[in-house]
Amino acid sequence: MKLLALLSNRDDSIIPDVKSALKRYTVYPLKTFEELEDLYSNIPLNLLLIDTTSHKLSSMSDFLNKLDDDRVVLITPDKLDKYTKDSLPRSIYDFVDAGAIKAELPAIVERALEKQQFENELRLLRKSQEAISQSQTRVNRRPDTEIFSGRFNPDPSGRYIHEKVVVNFAKMLTASFDMQKLFNHFIDSVMEIVRVSKMSIMLRDKDIFQVKNHYGLDPSLADNIQLRKDTALAGWLAKTGRIINKPVNFPDSESVTIKNEMEILQCSVSFPMIHRGKLIGIFNVDNKITEEPFYTEEIEIIYVLCNYLAAAVKDIDLYHSMWYQKEFTDNIISSMNSGMIAIDREEKITIFNQQASGILKLSSSDVIGKDLRSLPSPLGDLLYETMVTGKTYKRYEVTLNPADIPIGINSYRLHDEQQNPVGAGIVFSDLSDSRKLAEQRRTTEQLKTVNDLMAKIAHEVRNPLTSIQTYVQLLHEKQVNDELQQFFISTVSQSINRLDSLIDKLITFSCTQDYCLNCEDINELMSEAADFISKNIPAAHKFTKQPIDKPFYVNADKRQLVKAIYYLVLSIIDKTPDGISIKMNTIIYMEEPSTAEILITYDSEESIEDRKLELLKPFSDIKNLGSELNVPISNKIIEGHGGCLDIKSKEGINTYIIKLPLLDRRGATVSFKGGYVSE
């Protein structure tokens, strides 16, 4: 860990800029020269950064002359001339323009620290050579051997009271997952064991150890100290897992670095906080206030407490993580627009959110913890079925009793880590508003359709009336030649037929029909339909029928059913070129229920099966009102006979299929109710 002090009393961005540029190091900002002197008297500084705009070098020349070479970097508003550079103290290493802090300062600081490291290693090498000449036995001695030599007295002092330590330790374990309270009890426990002037607890956050609680340290310094995981002290504690005392001998550069870092932390002993073999924190203590050595029993009990503290810290972290996750989940559940209910394996209700309470008109406090059978039917049944059988529901609609509320439900099975069922949950929404909205939308669409229909009817009626009115005017004037009269007679006749056909279609489609149902032979019905179609379709189209061998009977209003077949043929003629051949045949299915299928087929490259819904929907094209009503009117008549209309396309052949129920015998007494045939 490298500690850099920044001397500047400016409130502008220079301090944030320096900290941002030197993220790898601990930068301690100071405002006054007195603060700098106080810090330097307690902690060794690796490097001092001075803002010459706020602090003049002349006022601190004596202090700068006492520093080692290359210990200061100046932050100046302008570049220094050669004369000024030569007059600077030896402790000044380099300078940087205030406007180039982010670009130049990191490299300058790194070079200064590398130079200091090199000088320290040279110094160590000289001392090592002197030590070799004095005693060969000290050549391969490890730093940890030197560290603990003569520092711990094996005899216990007997000063502290074990009962008080146990009480404080018990308080530490009952800190109610309050991290700061836990640290306070821990420090109290240590103070009962040994009276020291300074203590600090550092915890690891990602790659950095930071002071989380302390005693006797400068709060500003504690807030700014950062110990990276790859520093000498942290690395040694992580590697060995043992207690370390501030080195007094320096056989290598690592011990020097450890000493410097412990001086910055203002401690003489550092304890590792180990959890599951990993270093999660460091506990630092300074010397006793009486300057007595630490006793083995004191060190051992503090080491044990550190391990318990590490476990407690991890437990509190886990608790807070779970608590935050629970709060996050509860916020999501409470903010949902849908109701949510969950049960456990004991069939008890564990979740009942605010939306569920609003939809079901039940209080959460009255429901949570109760048996699932306290829920309105059929919610409890769905939850139980999902949990026991694993069956899930997607967009399943039910009506709640007795409130008669329509809701849509999705159900889920809940599993543990081993994928064993531990409960079930449902998410549901009140469909009342959506159904009302859908009904309003349908009403709006129907009104729009009716308005369009009225406009189209007015247009369709106006055109024929124009020709009729013109003919009446000509008759009134009596100045008409034979050819013109014949033309208008033909035109008026066609207009009247067109009006009659349109009005008949509108009446058939819009009014409820009273069908006069009788037992009718399929062959006779097809023959009559074929004769009517042949007389009324253009001569360019051909229509043929294929009779069946045996008589089969259906309950039908012959006139209306012939009209339905005729309108289907008209629909084909309107959408096909001249010369198309239309065929009609019948297939009888004797399986229960027995049915007769009347097939009307024709060849076409265009598939009508893909347009099935469009063809069956009335007024899909209001511009062609007469022809667009053909298929919907046919479908209405067929459904009125208890049958259905289907549309198929295969291999270039389009087929309208009229499915009608067959009568069991010719003399059966039949009636028609609600579109279904019954005896």
Tokens representing residue 371 in the block: 């048996």
- What pLDDT shows up at residue 100? 84
CA distances (Å), origin 379, targets 165, 367, 410, 424, 634: 57, 13, 11, 11, 43
CATH code that applies to domain 147-320: 3.30.450.40
- What pLDDT shows up at residue 509? 61
- Residue intervals of the chain classified under CATH 3.30.450.40 are 147-320
Query: Do 600 and 656 touch, CB atoms closer than 8 A?
Result: yes
For the chain, residues with pLDDT lower than 70 are 1, 11-12, 80-86, 121, 124-176, 335, 446-447, 449-482, 484-489, 493-494, 497-498, 500-513, 617-627, 664-679
Domain 435-502 has CATH 3.30.160: no
Task: In whole angstroms, give the CA distance from residue 437 to residue 445.
Answer: 12
- What pLDDT shows up at residue 270? 94
CA distances (Å), origin 232, targets 1, 214, 237, 302, 344: 8, 22, 9, 22, 52
Phi, psi dihedral angles at 407 (to 5 degrees)? -135, 155
* DSSP assignment string, 127-190: HHHHHHHH-GGGTT--HHHHHHTTTEESS----S-HHHHHHHHHHHHTSTT-HHHHHHHHHHHH
Residue 203: what residue type? L
Please, what is the end-to-end C-alpha distance for the chain in angstroms?
Answer: 99
Query: Do 564 and 638 touch, CB atoms closer than 8 A?
Result: yes
| pTM (global) more than 0.85 | no
**CA torsion through residues 144, 150, 151, 154, sign:** positive
CATH class of 518-678: alpha beta
161-183: pLDDT as tens digits: 555 566 566 555 555 577 888 88
Task: In whole angstroms, give the CA distance from residue 355 to residue 353.
Answer: 6
Tokens representing residue 598 in the block: 């009347």
Give the DSSP H or E segment for 384: helix 379-389
Domain 336-430 has CATH 3.40.50.1100: no
158 burial via Cβ count (<10 Å: 0-12, 13-18, 19+)? exposed
Q: Which of 564, 461, 445 has its CA nearest to residue 513?
A: 564
- Residue intervals of the chain classified under CATH 3.30.565.10 are 518-678
Name the 3-class secondary structure at 540: coil
- What pLDDT shows up at residue 507? 63
CATH code that applies to domain 3-134: 3.40.50.2300
Mean pLDDT of all residues belonging to the chain: 79
- What pLDDT shows up at residue 281? 94
Name the 3-class secondary structure at 37: helix
Task: In whole angstroms, give the CA distance from residue 278 to residue 311.
Answer: 11
Percentage of the chain lying above the pLDDT 70 cut: 76
- Residue intervals of the chain classified under CATH 1.10.287 are 435-502
- What pLDDT shows up at residue 600? 92
Task: In whole angstroms, give the CA distance from residue 47 to residue 96.
Answer: 14
Helices marked H in 213-360 — which ranges? 219-224, 232-240, 253-264, 296-335, 354-360
- Residue intervals of the chain classified under CATH 3.30.450.20 are 336-430
CA distances (Å), origin 407, targets 67, 373, 423, 501: 81, 18, 22, 46
Query: Do 630 and 570 touch, CB atoms closer than 8 A?
Result: yes
Q: Which of 663, 612, 672 has its CA nearest to residue 642?
A: 672
- Residue intervals of the chain classified under CATH 3.40.50.2300 are 3-134
